[in-house]
Amino acid sequence: MSAPHPTVTTGLFLLLLQEDGRPEALGQYTGYGLAGALLADLAAAGRVDVADEGHLIQVKDPTPTGDPLLDEGLTRFLGHDGKRVSIALTTIGRTLEHAVGDYLAERGVVEVEEGGWLGLKPRRYPEADGSMEAELREGLIEVLRGAEPTLQQHAMLGLISALEIPTAVFDKQDTGLTNRELKARASELRESAGPAVAGVSRAVRAMHAAVMTGALSANVSDR
């Protein structure tokens, strides 16, 4: 099966892979990002939208798109129709990494190396065909340098900013930007990238707030 044209979901997945094929160690944030990317793809396909000023999932059209990954994602979002975006992203994102990895493996883009005994080690996805990511990165770097983004590029870079990882994904030697310039450009794109990206950004901020609250509570109880 030939390599597909990257969607926001598959593109973000490839950008999150380290050189050894392991996803970036982002914990739950990886799930937020992939679920947000899937929401962006389904919104672009006219299947799912975000209502109530960006807070609620709204399924507009339940008919299949013809893409197996998007259709699996549509089924997942159907179960969250009318529910809060933050809850949908958390739930849907939990098992999305394997689904996207398997989809790309079937199309010859990556290989799947299962984790160790009892799954104690994470799956790895070494790239079998690096041309898709190389072309993707080239286009995104042009956008970071000031070019006008496509809808997909806008969403991808907005999600990378929402996950707070632009300097982990892009090397300043490749972009020609300082870390401050890179973060600023990615943040600019995030702010105008639409409700899916905004939902991920809110989820990440909420997670940060919960961690800080827990840390403060622990400090108080230790006194």
The 10s digit of each residue's pLDDT in 54-108 is 789 999 999 999 999 999 999 999 999 999 988 898 899 888 999 999 999 999 9
pLDDT at 135: 94
| Sign of the four-CA dihedral 78, 80, 82, 84 | negative
Residue 84 burial (10 A CB sphere; 0-12, 13-18, 19+): middle
pLDDT at 51: 83
pLDDT at 46: 95
Q: What is the pLDDT of residues 7-16, one digit of tens each?
A: 999 999 999 9
pLDDT at 48: 94
| Nearest in space to 199 (alpha carbons), one of 64, 52, 98, 97 | 52
Q: What is the pLDDT of residues 15-47, one digit of tens each?
A: 998 877 887 755 667 888 899 999 999 999 999
| Nearest in space to 204 (alpha carbons), one of 117, 37, 89 | 89
Amino acid at 128: A
> Into which CATH architecture does domain 8-222 fall?
Orthogonal Bundle (1.10)
> Is the overall model pTM greater than 0.85, yes or no?
yes
User: Where does the pLDDT of residue 122 fall: very low under 50, low under 70, confident under 90, or very high at 90 and above?
Assistant: confident
Domain layout of the chain by residue ranges: 8-222
Q: Residues 58, 51: contact at Cβ < 8 Å?
A: yes
pLDDT at 104: 95
Choice between 179 and 207, residue whose per-residue pLDDT is larger: 179
Q: Residues 57, 28: contact at Cβ < 8 Å?
A: no
Highest mean pLDDT among 62-66, 125-129, 214-218: 62-66
Distance between start and end Cα atoms, the chain: 61
| pLDDT for residue 206 is more than 90 | no
Q: How many angstroms separate the most distant Cα atoms in the chain? A: 61
Indicate the range of 21-35, 45-59, 147-161, 205-219 predicted with least confidence: 205-219
| pLDDT for residue 223 is more than 60 | no
